[in-house]
Structures are given as C-alpha cells and as structure tokens.
Amino acid sequence: MASGSSQNSEGLVHDVFLSFRGEDVRKSFIDHLRAGLKREGITAIFYDDTRLERGDEIQSKLYEAIDCSKMAIVTFSHRYAESRWCLDELVRIMKRRSHGLMVVLPVFYDIDPTHVRHQTGPYQEAFRKHKVAKIDRVSKWRQTLASTADLAGFGLQNQANGLPNSFIKLSSPGSHLIFNKYEAKLIKHIKYMVGGQSSLIQDINKWLQNGSSKVEVGIIHGPGGAGKTTTAKVVYNRNCRRFKSRSFLINLRTACQKDSEFIPLQNQLIRNITRNEDVKIDNISQGREKIKNVIGTHKILVVLDDVEDVAQFHKMFDCPDWFFAGSKILITTRDQHLLINDITISRFATCLLDEEKSVELFSYHAFGQAYPPEDKINISTPFIIYCGGLPLALEVLASSLRSIKSNMWKSQYERLQDYLDEKVFNVLPWSFDSLHDTAKDIFLHIAFYMIGRNKEYALKILDGCGLHGEIRLEDLIAKCLVSVDEYHDTLTMHHLIQQMGHEVVRQKPPIELGRRSRKSGQKDAYKSLAEYKGQDLQHPKPIKTSAFTEMENLDLLLLENVELYGSFDVFPKGIKWLLWKGCALKEIPFDFELDELVALDMQKSCLVQVWNDLKHMGALKILNLSHSHKLVSTPDLSSAFMLEWIWCEDCINLTNVHESIGKLENLTQLNVKGCVNLVTLPESIRSLKKLTSVIVHGCRNLKNLPINIGSVLHLDGCPGLVM
C-alpha cells in the first residue's frame, strides 16, 4: 500500500480515500486521478496498492485508512461489484458518512448509475454469484450500493488519459466542489428510480454540462405525477457541484400566492448563493434587489420547481440579464409552452413508463425488489395496468398495498374503479384548479363525454356551448391534461386524469339535482334520476320526460337505448348536444324544441322520418342518423342554415335525400355510405360551394349524380352509377 501520510488541518491522516476495483481502472483512470489531485495540492491520498495478498490484516488497515480520511472518492466500474473487498469497503465508507464524518463522491466510470442503484446490468451477474455463494452480507451490500448511487457524483466515459485531468478541474479545492466547508446539500428524492426516465436524465445532464457561456433555461414539462420533480432532483444532485453556488426552490407556484411564503423562498435563494445564513430580507422588493446583486457575481445553478406561468419566474428574477454568464435555470412545469423572452430555452418532456418499467417501479415500492414474487404477479397486474405508466400512481398505490394482506387486494382494486386514490388526487387537481373557468368547463365536458371523439366534432359542440373551444383546448393540451391522437384526430386523456375530472365533480358541494349541467353517461344519469324521482333504475325502465323538468342548465345529454315518454314540451330547451343512440321513436315529436341544438346524434335509432313538420334549428351544425335502418328520408332542413355535416351511413332503407339540402350553404360533408337503396341525390346539391366531401361508397343502386361534384366523391362500390 502507498498513501500520503501527513495529517490535514482536522487531524485526519488522509484527505482522500480512493475506493476502486484495481484491475478495472487502475491504469485507465485512478493513476491519472491520483496524479491530478497531487497537482492540485491534495497530497494526503490513501491509495490501496493491491498487489498485496488480501487478508484480515490488510482489511483492518483499509478500515483504519477509511476512518482516518476526510473524503472518499468511490469509482464504480463494470466489475466493482464482483469484489467482496470493495463492497465491504463501501459499507464502511457509507457508515462513516451516515455519522457525518466523511464526504463521499461517487464516480460512475463507463457505467450507468441505474445499474449501481438497482444492481442490474453487469452488477446483476456479480450478485447472482454472491447469492450462490450464500454470503450473508448480500442484502447490506445492495442497500449500500443503492444509497451511494443516490449521491451527487460524476458520470464519466472511458476517454483515456485526458479524462481524469478534466475531472480534477471540477473537483479541485479552488472550484469549491470537494473541500469547501459549505459542502452542497443534496436534495432527497424517491428511494427507487427505475430507468424509464434515464434517457431524459442523460439529455438534461448533457445540457447542464454543455459548457455554454450563455445564461440558459431548461424546462422539464409533463403531466402531474410523471416524475418532473424527481427528475430535477436527480440531475441537481449529479451536477450541483459543477457550479460555484446552487439552489433548489420547491413549490414556486404555491409560494407565489402569498408574500408570507414567497419571502422565505427569496431568503433561501440568497443564503444558498451567498452561503451566508445570517442574511434576512423583510419584503419582496428588498429581496429582488438583493437577488439581482448576488446572482450576477458567479456561475450558478437554480432549480425552480412547480412553475405555473412565466409571471412566477419574473416575480423571482425580473430579467435573465441578472445572471452571470454560464448560469443555468432548470424549471419544472405542466405547461409545455411556457415561454421566457430573451433567453435560450431547452425543453425536456417526461414520458409515461412502459410496461417493463411500470412493473419494476411498482415492485420496488410494493415488495422491495425489481419484480413481483411469483405468487403476487396475478394480483399486481390489474394495479399496474390501472396506473397507465404514471410514476406517481405506481409509487403511491404500491406503497399503500405493501401493508395490506394479499387477500384484500382485490377489494382495494374494485374501490379504485369508483374513487381515485386520495394521494394521487391531491397531486393531480391543481392543473385543473389553475385553469380559466371556461377551460375547466371544456376539460369536464371532454373528461365526461368526449374521449375518443373526433376533435373537430368536439370543437363544434364546444363552440356551440359558447366555450371558445379551439383556444381553450390548446391550453389544456399545453398543460398535459388532454392530448390528440394524431393518427385518428381524436381526443385522448390519461384515464387517471379523466377519473380526476369525475372526482372534481363528485367532491363539489351538494347542489340541487335539477340544477346539474352534466350527467356522466347512462349509469350516472340513471343514478341521478333515481335520486330525483326516488326510483330504482339499476335495471332501467321507461323514463317520463317530466323527470328532466328542472334541469334547465343541461347542455349535454347522452342516452343509450333509453325510452322516454310523455310531453317533450317540458324538456330542457338549452341542450346543445343530444346523443340518443337506439332511440325507439319513429319520429321526433312536434313539441320537442331543438332551437339551440348544435349536434343531434341519433345513431341506431328507429326513426322512419326524423320529423314531420319544419323544425327551427338555426344552431344545428351536425346531424348524425347513421345506422338507422328504418329511415327512409332525410328531413326538411331549410331552417338549419348553419348545418355543416350530415351523416347517414348504413341507412339501408334510405331512398330520399330531401331537396332542402341545396339551401345548406355551410355544408361541408355528406356521408351516405352503404345506403344501398339510394338511387339519386338532389340536383340542388350542385350549388353548395363549401361541400368538400361526398361519400357514396357502397351505394350499389345509385344510378346518377348531379354534375360538378365529381371531384369530392368517394365512389367505390357503386356499380350502377352512370357519370
């Protein structure tokens, strides 16, 4: 063994203890590291020259050297975990650290920290051999590797002789990274980090280490519970020592709401940057002036967690010019379009976990291992599917199940179908709470009724409700509450966010049933009507129209195979979207007022003719009568001058499209696909200049078409057609 032996200023023999697997990194890294440390004036280095045979005496001397060292640099390499000596050494090092007696700096040399943390990759085989050898210290080794990998450190690739010198520059006393008495305080994060966000973490690490001389902002965005804050903590811990000063400010959104909470956050930032715990500011203006003075003196790293809008950034920092060149600001937010002017921005999107990583994260929290025990696989699977790859949900549910007996898991799962877990709910709703009132209405309309609906179809209904759908929908998409399936152009939403919407409505203060403006599909509509009328409608019977008398705020009504009877004169007049699948009526009654209706969707109905008299339908944009097999004619639509879409697909007995279609100047789509008994279309259709799509595919008896519409036709399956 060779080591520096002079005592340092604290009475310890060694400044640095180097822990490493000799044959892996001695020549490629450790020798250069040791030389570089000495060039920086750090000469009291313990370096184990392991050409000596191992034995109790050697181990005793190693432990003594650890106990006499101020700091340990632990170099994790591919074969580090194969050495029982290295693992025992690490246990001793981390025990001393736990007592506050040693600083530990991990170096991940050509290996992913995830492999060290979870003993996967090259470490998995090493631990398999340890297990076969029945070594009783395996569990302790695993715990120690996991806790060490959570420390801030350096990830280095094998780049031959030039690498250690650049590392030394980062870890020298002059850069305040190792021997500064104000050692960076690391941020605690979740115990288990699976590799689902590993590529994201790598991208952010590269950005933090890009050496830019500009002031730059990085934005981590994604839905609530997707791991934004955890990711920020991980990259902060791994990179904070690269900056002379650093600060991690949590819950900025909440703090910005009250001066009494924002001022302490200003104090924290100033103290972190100046390393002066005696600093105290009394008001926001004083704090801003002090912040302006201190953040421009040297390169810093600042993390702003949970930022809702750019105003919150500017409340803390009025101008990016305040910062010293090369500083980085990392922001977590749910708004993917968050914009800060006059500064370079890099954006990083969190992602949902795939099936493999979902199983791994759930298993760590439920069972303390990477995969469920064989007898727990079947009962775990429904919970993993339910979470839909959302990290927060996987962590919360798995942790709660850990203390519950296996025979109770099924009942817990059944409860989740009706009630969102409280801890998950408490994280998700603020995205909803921060929305404009109109956007809240749109979110709830989508969550209850419009998942899987065509985007344009939904927007027409939302606009008809006076909600300015397109603008607000973009806001919901930016906040990761709603997304659009680009292939099908349909609205989608993570099912836990959808369940959050249901929970928001459920938790509202009780109001008079008749004042409710939305019913959650057939089941909830029956339940609500049962409450109102005191009837048992679990097996629904015909419903009297008077049950809807006091529901004057009803905008949207979705019914399926429901039979209504009685006078429609008492029916709500303000309905904008009526979807009544399987309607048993042969025609819509004359007293059913449809003046404000934007979309009438009567698919699979028993209608023979839609109505007998002329209806006033000045707001109607969508008429869907598809799969109504008894329908023989479309209605007189003379008053529906706003109508844009007519869908009569698979109306197999349809023989007549009413001549009034020629008056619909806003009509863009006509779909009569599969109307096998339709022979002709009205000549008046020729005058419709906005008509861009006429679908007659499968109209096998269609004989002729009006001229001038050939360019907008879908003609397959029309053998009798003469053009």
pLDDT digits (tens, 9 = 90+) for 129-149: 888 877 778 889 999 999 999
Q: What is the pTM of this model?
A: 0.56
Q: Which whole number is the average pLDDT over 70-86? A: 90
The region of weakest confidence among 55-69, 116-130, 158-172, 551-565 is 158-172
- Which one is predicted more confidently, 465 or 184? 465
pLDDT of residue 633: 94
The pair of structure tokens assigned to 338 is: 């968050």
Compute the mean pLDDT over every residue in the chain, rounded to the nearest whole number. 79
> How far is 253 from 275, CA to CA, in rounded Å?
25
Q: Are 489 and 455 in contact (CB under 8 A)?
A: yes
Q: Which CATH number fits domain 428-508: 3.10.450, 1.10.357, 1.10.8, 1.10.10?
A: 1.10.10
**Gap between the terminal Cα atoms of the chain:** 97
pLDDT digits (tens, 9 = 90+) for 367-396: 777 788 887 888 888 888 888 888 878 877
The residue type found at 579 is L
pLDDT of residue 528: 43
CATH class of 190-349: alpha beta
pLDDT of residue 365: 80
- Which one is predicted more confidently, 418 or 666? 666
pLDDT of residue 508: 65
Residue 312 C-alpha from the chain's centroid: 21
User: Using 50, 70 and 90 to split pLDDT, how confident is the model at 10?
Assistant: very low
Residue by residue, DSSP assigns 25-59 as HIIIIIHHHHHHHHHTT---EEE--TTSPP-HHHH
> How far is 24 from 182, CA to CA, in rounded Å?
33
Q: Are 244 and 298 in contact (CB under 8 A)?
A: yes
Place of tokens 């007659």: 696
> How far is 336 from 309, CA to CA, in rounded Å?
10
Q: Are 226 and 216 in contact (CB under 8 A)?
A: no
Report helix angle 31-39 to 162-171, nearest 10: 40
Q: Which whole number is the average pLDDT over 285-293? A: 87
pLDDT greater than 60 at residue 711: no
Domain 527-722 has CATH 3.90.25.10: no
pLDDT of residue 189: 55
pLDDT cut 90: percent of the chain above it: 19
> How far is 398 from 408, CA to CA, in rounded Å?
14
Among 609, 717, 709, CA closest to 667: 709
Residue by residue, DSSP assigns 586-645 as SS--TT---TT-SEEE-TT---SBS-SS----TT--EEE-TT-TT--BPPP-TT-TT--E
Beta bridge partners of 543: 564
pLDDT of residue 334: 83
C-alpha dihedral (329, 330, 333, 336), degrees to nearest 10: 90
Segment of 93-102, 410-419, 560-569 carrying the highest mean pLDDT: 560-569
Every domain of the chain and the residues it spans? 14-179, 190-349, 355-418, 428-508, 527-722
Q: Which whole number is the average pLDDT over 303-321? A: 83
- Which one is predicted more confidently, 44 or 671? 671
The region of weakest confidence among 114-123, 419-428, 659-668 is 419-428
Segment of 58-62, 129-133, 341-345, 693-697 carrying the highest mean pLDDT: 693-697
pLDDT of residue 443: 87
Segment of 248-257, 585-594, 611-620 carrying the highest mean pLDDT: 585-594
> How far is 713 from 723, CA to CA, in rounded Å?
12
Place of tokens 């050297």: 65
Beta bridge partners of 155: 108
The residue type found at 307 is V
pLDDT of residue 335: 81
User: Using 50, 70 and 90 to split pLDDT, how confident is the model at 278?
Assistant: confident
pLDDT greater than 80 at residue 716: no
| Three-state secondary structure string covering 664-718 | CCCCCEEECCCCCCCCECCHHHHHCCCCCEEECCCCCCCCECCCCCHHHEECCCC
Q: Regarding beta strands 216-221 and 328-333, do their DSSP bridges make them parallel or antiparallel, or are they unpaired?
A: parallel
pLDDT of residue 162: 45
Q: Which whole number is the average pLDDT over 13-31? A: 81
Q: Which whole number is the average pLDDT over 628-643? A: 93
pLDDT greater than 80 at residue 78: yes
pLDDT of residue 71: 86
pLDDT of residue 197: 67
- Which one is predicted more confidently, 182 or 604? 604
> How far is 544 from 524, CA to CA, in rounded Å?
17
Topology agreement, domain 14-179 and domain 190-349: yes
Among 600, 658, 607, CA closest to 628: 607
Q: Which whole number is the average pLDDT over 164-183? A: 41
pLDDT digits (tens, 9 = 90+) for 489-527: 888 887 777 877 877 777 665 443 334 445 444 444 434
The CB density around residue 410, as the number of other CB atoms within 10 Å, is 11
- Which one is predicted more confidently, 459 or 414? 459
| Three-state secondary structure string covering 56-96 | HHHHHHHHHHHHCEEEEEEEECCCHHHCHHHHHHHHHHHHH
The region of weakest confidence among 178-182, 225-229, 422-426 is 178-182
The residue type found at 282 is D
Phi, psi of 390 (to 5 degrees): -80, 115
- Which one is predicted more confidently, 656 or 613? 656
| Three-state secondary structure string covering 144-169 | HHHHHHCCCCEEECCCCCHHHHHHHH
CATH topology of domain 14-179: Rossmann fold (3.40.50)
User: How far apart, in Å, are the Cα atoms of 422 and each of 13, 364, 499, 500, 523?
Assistant: 53, 21, 12, 10, 23
> How far is 636 from 653, CA to CA, in rounded Å?
18
pLDDT cut 70: percent of the chain above it: 80
Report helix angle 138-149 to 122-132, nearest 10: 160
- Which one is predicted more confidently, 385 or 643? 643
User: How far apart, in Å, are the Cα atoms of 108 and each of 157, 185, 488?
Assistant: 8, 20, 44
pLDDT of residue 536: 31
> How far is 149 from 238, CA to CA, in rounded Å?
10
pLDDT of residue 707: 59
The pair of structure tokens assigned to 322 is: 């305040």
pLDDT greater than 80 at residue 602: yes
The pair of structure tokens assigned to 196 is: 């689902």
The residue type found at 480 is C
pLDDT of residue 174: 32
The residue type found at 272 is N
- Which one is predicted more confidently, 400 or 30? 30
pLDDT greater than 70 at residue 240: yes
The CB density around residue 124, as the number of other CB atoms within 10 Å, is 13
pLDDT of residue 525: 42
